[in-house]
Chains A and B, each alone.
Chain A
Amino acid sequence: MEEGGSPPSLKDLENRLRRARARKPHEGPKAESSAVGQAFRIAAELVSGLLVGLAVGWLLDRWLGTGPWLLITFFFLGAAAGILNVYRATKGYGLAVGYKKREQPTDEDEGELK
Chain B
Amino acid sequence: MAEAGGHSPLEQFHIKRLVPIDLGGVDMSFTNSAAVMVAAVVIITMFLTMSMRRGTLVPGRWQSMAELSYEFIANMIRDNVGSEGRRFFPFIFTLFMFILFGNLLGLVPYSFTFTSHLAVTAALAVVVIIGVTLVGIVMHGLHFFSFFVPKGVPAVMLPLMVPIEIISYLSRPVSLSIRLFANMMAGHTMMKVFAGFVVTLGAATFGVGGIAPLAMNVALTAFELLVAFLQAYVFTVLTCLYLNDSIHLH
A interface residues (Cβ-Cβ under 8 A, vs B): 29, 32-33, 37, 40-41, 44-45, 47-49, 51-53, 56, 74, 77-78, 80-82, 84-85, 95-100, 102, 104, 106
Contact between A77 and B238, CB atoms less than 8 A apart: no
Contact between A48 and B178, CB atoms less than 8 A apart: yes
A41 to chain B, nearest CB (A): 7
A53 with B245: in contact, given A37-B230, A44-B182 (CB under 8 Å)? no
Closest to A73 in B: B163
B interface residues (Cβ-Cβ under 8 A, vs A): 78-80, 150, 160, 163-165, 167-168, 170-172, 174-175, 178-179, 182-183, 226-227, 229-230, 234, 237-238, 241-242, 244-245, 250
B244 / chain A contacts, CB cutoff of 8 Å:
98, 102
A51 with B171: in contact, given A40-B182, A40-B183, A102-B80 (CB under 8 Å)? yes
B78 / chain A contacts, CB cutoff of 8 Å:
106
Select one of B171, B230, B237 contacting A49, CB under 8 A: B171
Q: How far is the CA of A32 from the CA of B178 in the complex (A)?
A: 22
A52 with B171: in contact, given A81-B164, A97-B242 (CB under 8 Å)? yes
B165 / chain A contacts, CB cutoff of 8 Å:
81, 84
Select one of B175, B226, B230, B241 contacting A44, CB under 8 A: B175
Q: How far is the CA of A44 from the CA of B171 in the complex (A)?
A: 10
A106 with B241: in contact, given A77-B164, A78-B167 (CB under 8 Å)? no
Which 3 residue pairs of A and B lie closest in terms of their CB atoms, listed nearest first? Answer: A48-B175, A48-B174, A81-B167
Closest to A53 in B: B167
A29 / chain B contacts, CB cutoff of 8 Å:
226, 229-230
